[in-house]
Structure 1
Amino acid sequence: MYESQIKAFKKAEPKTLGAVQIVIGFFTVILSTIVYKLHYHIQREIIILIINGAQLVITGIILVHTGRRPSKRLVLTTIVLQLLTAAFDVVGFGLMARHIPFRGESYYYRDTEFLVNGILGTLIGVLVLACIIGLVVSLFGVYSLSVSAIKELTPIPHSTANQHYGAGLQAQNAIHSGN
């Protein structure tokens, strides 16, 4: 990767966003496990959230590593994983939104309605935040691989940054002056 590509990617603060994703992943797994233990009839949705939380942790770890030592392959891998995680986040908060407000049918469930509603609302908010982080990191990754490379490869005439472009002009001036 070119230096301008690395700078463009690091503008997104990938290490910080990766750490936030790791925390969100652990938070999602813990809250999903609590709801899984309380209510058995929404187990399929909760299992998807637990998988999503584990995926957030793995994606966050890869994002932190990519922020430390960015390479073209790691940035491409991060883009794909972030888009995949964003898709799972959309599915996760879509599944949870079906159960808000939670209504229990038995006496046991009525005691925990307030708790479950709070946890499900928190999970939806956290998954929306994770989705936004994934999309932002993906956009910065695509930007850093495309636009910054074009800037690096485009020659600027009469620039001191690319000395080999100015050599032709100096040779032309030497010919015209008779040297």
Structure 2
Amino acid sequence: MSLYASQIKAFKSAEPKTLGAVEIIIGALTVILSTIVYKLHYHIQREIIILILNGAQLIITGIVLVHAGRRPSKCLVGTNIVLQLLTAAFDIVGFGLIARHVPFRGESYYYRDSEFLVNGILGTLIGSLVLACIIGLVVALLGVYALSVSAIKELTPIPNATANPQYGSGGQARAAMRAGN
């Protein structure tokens, strides 16, 4: 199913290709930094595995958003809305799981050397998750706007329009309708 021209314009005004590229970069950054923390500290591995999955989901969502920016359709816009809302939910969960460990304190002497590194990585992960959540919510809202409000504008007739004489007022439009023109 195709979109109306005003719907395509409303969706492309959100710059979906750029936001998709940003999501791909944030997803790759999340996967890389989460893998580093996973290797360093074994006692927060469950949280880190969730972050790695969240990063993979961000990459997939970004790819779908870039594709929808190139060739928007109702199916892709709807899929993007659902994926962006799921990504925002997982970002909030990941933020909550990681925020418990900041500032990171090592239990043994071995971990004290890497506290500063892990605190920096966890802070970067939290910042990237917040940014990805904001991007996801903005894209989802603009997708809903593109599907709903723009379609209403396209389907609403304009009174006294020359393209649609049946909506015109006056005797000439009624006479033309009766005559079959």
TM-score, normalization by structure 1: 0.93
Change beyond 3 A, Cα 1:162–1:118: farther
**SS where residue 42 of structure 1 aligns?**
helix
User: Is it true that 1:8 corresponds to 2:4 in the alignment?
Assistant: no
Structure-2 residue corresponding to 1:30: 32
Percent same amino acid at aligned positions? 82
Structure-2 residue corresponding to 1:66: 68
Q: Distance in 1 between matches of 2:63 and 2:155?
A: 32
Structure-1 residue corresponding to 2:127: 125
**Deviation for aligned residue 1:172:** 3.1
AA of the residue aligned to 2:120: G
Selected match of 1:108 from 104, 107, 110: 110
Selected match of 2:161 from 155, 159, 162: 159
Q: Distance in 2 between matches of 1:131 and 1:37?
A: 26
Q: Distance in 1 between matches of 2:171 and 2:102?
A: 71
**SS where residue 67 of structure 1 aligns?**
helix
Q: Distance in 2 between matches of 1:50 and 1:146?
A: 34
Selected match of 1:48 from 35, 44, 50: 50
**SS where residue 43 of structure 2 aligns?**
coil
Q: Distance in 1 between matches of 2:80 and 2:14?
A: 13
Aligned length in residues? 175
Q: Distance in 1 between matches of 2:100 and 2:92?
A: 13
C-alpha offsets along residues 153-177 of structure 1, whole Å, 9 cap, x if unaligned?
11011123545534985343679xx
**SS where residue 105 of structure 2 aligns?**
coil
Cα RMSD (Å): 1.7
Q: Distance in 1 between matches of 2:142 and 2:172?
A: 39
Q: Distance in 2 between matches of 1:161 and 1:8?
A: 23
Runs of 5+ consecutive residues of structure 1 not aligned to the other structure: none
**Deviation for aligned residue 1:56:** 0.2
C-alpha offsets along residues 94-144 of structure 1, whole Å, 9 cap, x if unaligned?
111000000001111000000000000000000000000000000000000
Change beyond 3 A, Cα 1:163–1:58: farther
Structure-2 residue corresponding to 1:99: 101
Runs of 5+ consecutive residues of structure 2 not aligned to the other structure: none
